[in-house]
């Protein structure tokens, strides 16, 4: 951790485009929109969903934490709700998210944690294909570079698409705006590369999740006996990790409450923020 803060802005990826009302043109933008929407879900997985899971489990109180701690608390919670038997609630899968619910009637906060963990782990898997998605978007961008004047192209398409003169003008403006926008969103998508090393580590080390699953009932039975179901309550009662100092916890609790109120949409990743020890700089344990 350095003495001077460094920030990386991870920009939102906007998958919306203006309608040209020209069928083949809109079909192209729809294809781009689906790709960008998928990439935006990946971004949310690494920002919103991951931070939400930290809040729901309370592991932000630990001096050192990894994503394994989130998964531990989730499994302990499942086991507690299953009366000390996690297999009443979930079964193990081979790939992300490495389990599936067989009992959907679980408490709200447990379901919320399940959803955030699932989205994050799937983002870890999906981001491996980032370069392929960007290549597809760049091919679409290239295809939008017309060899002749846009107005002339639209005039030829006007009759088939029921466009009058005003419609042609609007279509031309929408096309130009979309062309500019797709270029901007490709640049935003490229910023997601920062998450690839993290994803690879998570996917590699997720093999240990099976051990967490097998050991979950040891804590789950105790949590059930104490009638604990809320993930953060189970963390407070059973996680052995060393906590931060009380004053630090108080300050961070206020800070995290503010982030929750903003909807986790502050996407500045500060590598020197003691409360965001997720980005690996080669010296710290950032995730899993």
CA–CA gap between residue 278 and residue 288 (Å, rounded): 9
pLDDT in tens, 136-174: 999 999 999 987 899 889 998 988 999 999 999 999 999
**Closest listed residue to residue 6, CA positions, set 197, 192, 269, 195:** 269
CA–CA gap between residue 231 and residue 61 (Å, rounded): 14
Position 256 scores a pLDDT of: 80
45 φ/ψ angles, rounded to the nearest 5 degrees:
-60, -40
Is the bond into 97 cis (omega within 30 degrees of 0)?
Answer: yes
What angle is formed at CA 171 by the lines to CA 166 and CA 175, rounded to 5 degrees?
155
Position 104 scores a pLDDT of: 87
Each residue's pLDDT expressed in tens, for the chain with a length of 288 residues: 333 344 567 889 999 999 999 999 999 999 999 999 999 999 999 999 999 999 999 999 999 988 999 999 999 999 999 999 999 999 988 777 788 999 889 999 999 999 999 999 999 999 999 999 999 999 999 999 987 899 889 998 988 999 999 999 999 999 999 999 999 999 999 999 999 999 998 888 888 898 999 999 999 999 999 999 999 999 999 999 999 988 888 888 888 877 776 666 544 443 333 333 443 332 233 334
CA distances from 188 to 10, 36, 193, 213, 223 (A): 7, 10, 10, 37, 44
Q: Which residues pair with 7 in a beta bridge?
A: 270
* Contacts for 246 with CB less than 8 Å, ≥ 6 apart: none
**Closest listed residue to residue 40, CA positions, set 32, 178, 275, 201:** 32
CA distances from 272 to 14, 39, 122, 137, 269 (A): 28, 26, 27, 33, 9
The CA-based diameter of the chain, rounded to the nearest angstrom, is 75
Position 263 scores a pLDDT of: 66
CA–CA gap between residue 52 and residue 198 (Å, rounded): 17
Domain ranges across the chain: 40-147+196-270
Position 272 scores a pLDDT of: 32
What is the enclosing helix (H) or strand (E) of 270? strand 268-270
* Contacts for 218 with CB less than 8 Å, ≥ 6 apart: none
The pTM of this model reads 0.84
* Contacts for 268 with CB less than 8 Å, ≥ 6 apart: 7, 8, 9, 10
CA–CA gap between residue 154 and residue 259 (Å, rounded): 47
CA–CA gap between residue 241 and residue 66 (Å, rounded): 11
């Amino acid at each position: 951790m350095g003495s001077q803060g460094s920030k990386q802005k991870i920009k939102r990826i906007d998958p919306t485009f203006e309608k040209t009302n020209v069928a083949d043109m809109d079909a192209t933008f729809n294809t781009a929109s689906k790709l960008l929407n998928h990439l935006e879900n990946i971004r949310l997985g690494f920002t919103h969903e991951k931070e939400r899971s930290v809040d729901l489990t309370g592991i932000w109180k630990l001096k050192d934490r990894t994503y394994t701690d989130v998964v531990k608390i989730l499994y302990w919670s499942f086991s507690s709700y299953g009366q000390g038997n996690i297999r009443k609630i979930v079964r193990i899968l081979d790939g992300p998210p490495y389990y599936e619910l067989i009992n959907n009637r679980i408490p709200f906060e447990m379901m919320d944690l399940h959803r955030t963990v699932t989205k994050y782990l799937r983002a870890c898997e999906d981001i491996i294909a980032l370069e392929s998605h960007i290549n597809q978007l760049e091919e679409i961008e290239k295809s939008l570079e017309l060899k002749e004047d846009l107005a002339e192209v639209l005039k030829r398409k006007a009759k088939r698409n029921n466009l009058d003169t005003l419609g042609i003008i609007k279509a031309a403006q929408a096309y130009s705006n979309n062309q500019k926008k797709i270029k901007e969103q490709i640049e935003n998508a490229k910023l997601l590369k920062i998450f690839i090393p993290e994803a690879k580590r998570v996917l590699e080390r997720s093999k240990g999740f099976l051990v967490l699953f097998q050991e979950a009932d040891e804590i789950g039975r105790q949590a059930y006996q104490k009638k604990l179901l809320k993930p953060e309550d189970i963390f407070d009662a059973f996680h052995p990790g060393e906590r931060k100092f009380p004053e630090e916890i108080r300050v961070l609790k206020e800070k995290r409450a503010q982030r929750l109120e903003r909807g986790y949409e502050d996407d500045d990743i500060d590598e020197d923020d003691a409360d965001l020890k997720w980005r690996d700089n080669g010296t710290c344990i950032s995730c899993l």
